[in-house]
Every structure is written in C-alpha cells, then in structure tokens.
Amino acid sequence: MQGSRAVALPGVAPERQRRSENLYLKTFRRLLRSPSGLFGMVVMALLILTAAFAPLIAPHDPLVQNPGAELAVPSGRFPVGTDEFGRDLFSRIVYGARISLLVGVLAVVIGSLVGVSSGLAAGYFGGWTDAVIMRLWDALLAFPAILLGIAVATILGPGVTNAAIALAIVSIPQFSRITRASVLGEKERDYVQAARCLGAGSGRIALRHIFPNTISPLLVQLSLAMGYAVLLEAGLSFLGLGTQPPDPSWGSMLNTSRAYLRQAPWYAIFPGIALSVLLLGLNFLSDALRDALDPKLTHLR
C-alpha cells in the first residue's frame, strides 16, 4: 500500500509503515540517480532561479530600447544580440522565463485544483455525478488543445493571466480523468472499507485516505502539463493572444523574429533554444518521475 499517511492498522509491521513514509524521499533519490531525471530537475531549477533572480542576471532592462542598436549581432554588450527596437535579447529571454514559469505554474495549479477535485468527486460518488462531470470534460477533450486555448483567450482577451486561465481550462480534463481512474481503483480497497466501518464520512475518506494514494500519477501529469502549458503559451503569444508587447515572451519573440530570419537569425535561435531546453527538461523529468514512482520498482525495496 502506497502513501505517506498510511492508516495505522493493527498487525502491520512498523518497518513496512516507515518504508511507506520514506517513499517520496526515495523517489527523489532515484530521480537524482537517473540522468534524465537529473537533467529535468536541473532545468527546472535553472528556470526557477532565472525567474527569481532575473533582475540580477539580466544585464539590461528588457523594455529599454536602444535606438541605433537595432538587430545588433551578439557582442560583449549584447550577449545574444538585440531585437528590432534595440532591446537586449538576453535580458528579454531571462525575463521571459518569468512568463513561462508564471503561466506554467498558474495553469497547472488551477487546472489540477479543478481537475483533481472534480475527478475525486466523479470517481468516489459515481452515478450522475460521474456522468455529468466526465461528459463535460469529454466535450472539452473533443477540441484540439491549441484551438480551445485560442477560443478561450479570444473570449477573455489577450494577456498573460487570461492565457494562463485558458491553458488551465485545457488541462482540467486530463487531471480529472487521471484522478478518477485512480479513485476508481482505490475506493474498493480494504482500507477504504475499514475507514467506512470506523465511521469516517465520505469527505474524510476521499481526502484523507484515497487522495494520497492517487498522487503518484498526478505528479507525472503535473510536469507533463506544465511543459504543455509553456508550449501552448508560446503558441498563444506567437498568435498575439498571450503576452502583449512590450512584455517579453519566448513565443512572441519567435513570432516577431520570423520577419528577420535572414537579417538576424539569432533573434529566433536563442529564444528557440530556451524554449526547447525547457520543454525537453520537463519531458525528461516527467519520464523519470514515472519510472521512479513505478510500483513494480518500489516493491523491490
């Protein structure tokens, strides 16, 4: 039985309970030992540090234009060149990390809160609750994610916050389905019956007993969803529906750079590299997390 908050049952060896409580620590250690997991964690750490310390890392103000230095080649003064307004691209990439982190975190937090709670309700209560909730999310899933994101962003208006909300809506169905599937598997287990016999209410059973045992697949989905959200935000900014000028966004930089591909290819290369590395890192991390949380492997301990 997994979960850090295992019910103290009579007759269960204390060693086995201590092993459960150390599961997440062990998962973390396994991630560190995995090359892809380590790469993913390093990328995430870099993203967070870059976003947090952007004013210290960026050599210039990302919004300040430098007339006369438009589309400058990479140099000592401008490490990766400038854009069409003479703004330092390196500083804009650094500050763009904030947008990516903000959108990614906001989208997965909102998406997971709504998705997990609805999935929990659908899976635990079943019946009409399950049918209504799942049909609603199935309807959303019928639309391609980028199309749905564009539709929501168009209704709400362009901007970072609205883009994050749009992306959260796109991610809700996946969180809900994963949670529901896990809940369906867990709710027939003995520990749930035991808790029911002891008089625990539905809310307590769902939140304190079942939910902790559904976290593992959700963790994997979190990192996947964040990567997807970052990519979609770049797509929305590319289409003019995400971050608005003059705020820096990797997606909008990629969009604008298309007009200057021949004159200033660095304009597209470096934001493209930043976006690619982040997406690769998040994918590797989710991959490694899935392996690290694989129950077949944890049972070997």
Partner 1 sequence: MTPEPTLPRRRFLRRAAALAAGFAAVPLAEACAPIGPTSAPTPAPKAASPQPAAGQAPAAPKTGGRLRMVQTSDVAPREPHLRQDANAPIALTVWDTLTRYDQSLKPQPGLAERWDWSSDFRTLTVKLRQGVKFHSGRELTAEDVEFNIVRIRDPAVGSQMRGASNQIKKIERPDPLTITLGFDKPYLGVFDLFEALVITDRETVGNLDQGKVVGTGPFVWREWTPNEKLVLEKNPAYWQSGAPSLDRVELTVISDVQAMAVQFEAGQQDLALKVSAQDFERLRQDSKYQSVIMDTGNSYFYLSADVSKPPLDKKEVRQALNLAINRERFVQTAMSGISRPTTLPWPQGSPAYDATLDGSVRFDLERARALLQQAGAGSGFEVPITYNQQRTATVGKLVEILQSDLGQLGVKLNAQTQENTVFQRTLNERQFGGLFTHLHGFSNQTPVSLFLQAFPFRKDNASNFSSPEFNRLIDAMDGETDEGKLKELYAAMNRLLLDEAFVVNVATNPSYYVARANVQNVEYSLFDWWVLQRTAVS
> Quick one: which H or E segment has residue 24?
helix 23-33
**Among 17, 54, 70, 151, interactor with partner 1 by CB under 8 A:** 70
Shortest separation between residue 46's beta carbon and partner 1, angstroms: 17
**Among 208, 265, 294, 297, interactor with partner 1 by CB under 8 A:** 265
- Residue 217 contacts partner 1 per CB under 8 A: no
The three-class DSSP label of residue 82 is: strand
- Spell out the residues 6+ positions from residue 299 whose beta carbon is closer than 8 angstroms to its own: none
Token look-up 């939910």 returns 211
Token look-up 């609805």 returns 118
- Residue 269 contacts partner 1 per CB under 8 A: yes
Instruction: Output 109 or 280, the one with its CB closest to partner 1.
Output: 280
Select from 45-53, 117-125, 206-214, 239-247 the region that touches partner 1 (CB under 8 A): 239-247
Instruction: Output 24 or 39, the one with its CB closest to partner 1.
Output: 39
Shortest separation between residue 256's beta carbon and partner 1, angstroms: 9
**Quick check: 81 and 73 in contact, CB under 8 A?**
yes
- Residue 151 contacts partner 1 per CB under 8 A: no
Radius of gyration of the chain (CA): 23
Backbone angles phi, psi at 131, to 5 degrees: -65, -45
> Quick one: which H or E segment has residue 277?
helix 266-292
- Give residues in contact with partner 1 (CB under 8 A): 36, 63-65, 67, 70, 84-85, 154, 158, 240, 244-246, 258-263, 265-266, 268-269, 272-273, 276, 280, 283-284, 287
